[in-house]
Structure 1
Amino acid sequence: MVLESFQVGTGDVPTVLLHGFLGSGRNLRSLAVAWTQADPRRRILLPDLTGHGQSPALPADADLSTLARDVVDTLDAQGFTGAIDWVGHSLGGRVSLSASLHASDRVGSVSLLDIAPGPVPLDLSESGFVLDILMQAPPRADNRRALRADLTGRGLSEGLSDWLLMNLVPDGDGVRWRFDRDALFRLHKRVNVEDLWPAVERPVHPPLRCIRGGRSRYVPDAAVARLEAADCPVTFLPDAGHFVHVDSAQAVLAWLMA
């Protein structure tokens, strides 16, 4: 399946940059622009993952390997050949690890933005908290302002509410959600229990690295020790939350270029 995507940069080092759950390629545009300006060799593809943004809907049985295969199909369609550098935030990082298992010839390296390979406990999942509120919200409203008030009234921050509202589309005289919330709910349950440690701990794997936000719980200390034992160095950003590329943009850029 070919996904909605756009490119940043015109260099000869192919790279794919993958967003997190409930996001879209636009979420990482600033990072991609800064990276290609600092390193003009880069040519970066930013797709909307399956079921996200303007990409096709999720199949009923979609899992991480489904999303990874769709990214590979999109790389092919856009002329990105050979082994690619994969960089993924949260869900995008887990998709990258899945690709390294199921399409190893297309993965030159994997850089994880605040995500670990193991199953994600529900009580640690910020995306699960956001999804629960999203599932309670009405399917449509008269205007964006009404849906924003509903989300913030259920306890979601203004920033996260505005981020979610990027997924609204016109619907007659009102607005509705672009994505299928029920399909995303099923996907979330399925991908969070997948164990991707085999991608990291096998005898031979592509170069791996991880960056961790000090105010995030997605990469616990036990996972750091296990990652580093498997030759996947972990960099710590003490002042960053889960969205490390937003909270510590310059540090993440320097890390990517190191």
Structure 2
Amino acid sequence: MAAAGPPPARALSAGSRRAPLALGLAPPRQGARVGASRLRQDNVHCHSRLISTNFNSRPSLCPPCHCAQMALADPVVSYQPDSDKHAGVLAYDLVQGNLVQWNSFMDKSIPDPPTAVLLHGILGSGKNWGSFAKRLAQEFPMWQFLLVDLRCHGESASIKKKGPHTVASTAFDVLKLISQLRLSPRVLVGHSFGGKVALSMVEQAAKPLPRPVRVWVLDSTPGKVRAGLDKEDHPAELIEFLRRMPVQVKSKKEVVDALIKGQFSLDVAQWVATNLRRSSPLGPRSSSSYSWIFDLNGISEMYKSYEDTNLWRIVENVPRGVHISFLKAERSLHRWALEDLQRIHTAEELAADEGGGVEMHMLEDAGHWVHADNPDGLFRILSSTFRIENTIRGARD
């Protein structure tokens, strides 16, 4: 059951970086927070952030992978007022191109702009997509991008949800959110766990999803989840390891050291530690403690559902007007079986005859954390979708 109060306001860093992680897209770098003093109007309550991308960009390097990326500066930030009907669904950010003049409180007769929903993986958050969404918004200034914190993750962890915590219930949360925001997304992009959530959204509801709708499933198959090799980090083992740790710890280093001792990689250990929040911010630093910002019990249930959920039926019987694109990372942590690839290629042929679409893409020089390992390659592949949608809308207009 959703909490009565609205989701907490979000504050993304203006200059964010991509760092590799095992289970979802990489979190942004810690930086200066945008405070309430940046508001242009007085007496406005914070609900969730609207980020306009009318600003300049500069190149930077992303340690530890040192990939070239776009660091974005000086976004114009505005806040939506509270609304009871929007309260307590999920926490989110809305990144808007500089040609978008819209919010969910406008006259209902005004159509919403083309919208894409970006979904993170297990143990991630919507912030993982922050800098990538800003880059998309700069390239496609008529679009807006909804970055969601899924249930039990990020700021949504404080919004209590009834179980079961499954792929299907997670997808229903997102459908409910976009319905209440009066959005009709044209594109859904989901990484790992988020990829199955996107497929489940298409399966569950014709509305509020329009037709056509384009779905991107990033490094995730519709069915069986096959674990990586013995020397690679296993998500289920990581989640259970974290559940056995104390609810509160004295420092982030304590968590990093424990994970390394538990045979997890340094990259994963450092990333996991970013999900700790100081429990006593006003006390002396020496007496401070840290606790997790996510619900590990709920996440454990969600990952089990990710392993068990089979959505081949939506892929092999694609509804008319739906186009599903799979992206396989060249060095994926998940094993893509030959039978998976063959089923996708067979579905591709069937969908073409039924007025839908299925495609398979390969992202070279990338592991499971696709937009950290090869952000430029991922950007080029995803950009084709927004160009196609712009062409379709232009033809209609």
TM-score, length basis structure 1? 0.92
Asked whether the 8 Å contact 2:218–2:328 carries over to 1, the reply is: yes
Q: How does 1:43-82 map to 2 (within 5 A)?
A: 43-55=144-156, 56-80=159-183, 82=184
Q: Which runs of 5+ in 2 are unaligned?
A: 3-88, 101-112, 281-287, 349-357, 385-397
* SS of corresponding position for 1:98: helix
Asked whether the 8 Å contact 1:212–1:244 carries over to 2, the reply is: no
Q: Return the offset for 1:52.
A: 0.6
Greater relative CO (CA pairs within 8 A, separation 6+): 1
Name which of 182, 201, 207 aligns with 2:297. 182
Q: Return the offset for 1:126.
A: 3.6
* SS of corresponding position for 1:40: coil
- The worse-fitting range, judged by mean Cα deviation, of 83-92 and 104-113 is 104-113
| Cα shift readout 1:107-144 (whole Å, capped 9, x = no counterpart) | 31211111110121456784224323323333221122
Cα-Cα RMSD: 1.9
Q: Which runs of 5+ in 1 are unaligned?
A: none
Asked whether the 8 Å contact 1:57–1:180 carries over to 2, the reply is: no
Name which of 159, 171, 176 aligns with 2:279. 171
Q: Return the offset for 1:166.
A: 2.0
Instruction: Letter of the 2:246 partner, please give it.
Output: P
* SS of corresponding position for 1:104: coil
Counterparts of 1:218 and 1:123, CA distance in 2: 6
Q: Return the offset for 1:195.
A: 0.4
TM-score, length basis structure 2? 0.61
Against the structure 1 CA distance between its residues 256 and 229, is the aligned structure 2 distance closer, same or farther, given a 3 Å change threshold? same
Against the structure 1 CA distance between its residues 104 and 224, is the aligned structure 2 distance closer, same or farther, given a 3 Å change threshold? farther
Identity of aligned residues (%): 28
Q: Return the offset for 1:182.
A: 1.9
Name which of 120, 127, 151 aligns with 1:26. 127
Counterparts of 2:369 and 2:228, CA distance in 1: 18
Name which of 121, 146, 150 aligns with 2:254. 146
Instruction: Letter of the 1:183 partner, please give it.
Output: G
Q: What residue in structure 1 maps to residue 223 of structure 2?
A: 118
Counterparts of 2:296 and 2:253, CA distance in 1: 20
Q: Return the offset for 1:97.
A: 0.3
Q: What residue in structure 2 maps to residue 221 of structure 1?
A: 338
Q: Return the offset for 1:58.
A: 4.4
Counterparts of 1:59 and 1:210, CA distance in 2: 31
Q: What residue in structure 1 maps to residue 141 of structure 2?
A: 40
- The worse-fitting range, judged by mean Cα deviation, of 220-229 and 27-36 is 220-229
Q: Return the offset for 1:170.
A: 2.1
Counterparts of 1:121 and 1:197, CA distance in 2: 15
How many residues were matched structurally?
Answer: 257
Counterparts of 1:242 and 1:73, CA distance in 2: 29
Structure with greater Cα Rg: 2
Q: What residue in structure 2 maps to residue 8 of structure 1?
A: 95
4+ aligned runs moved over 4 Å, structure 1: 122-125
Name which of 159, 171, 188 aligns with 2:267. 159
Task: Specify which structure has the higher proportion of helix.
Answer: 1
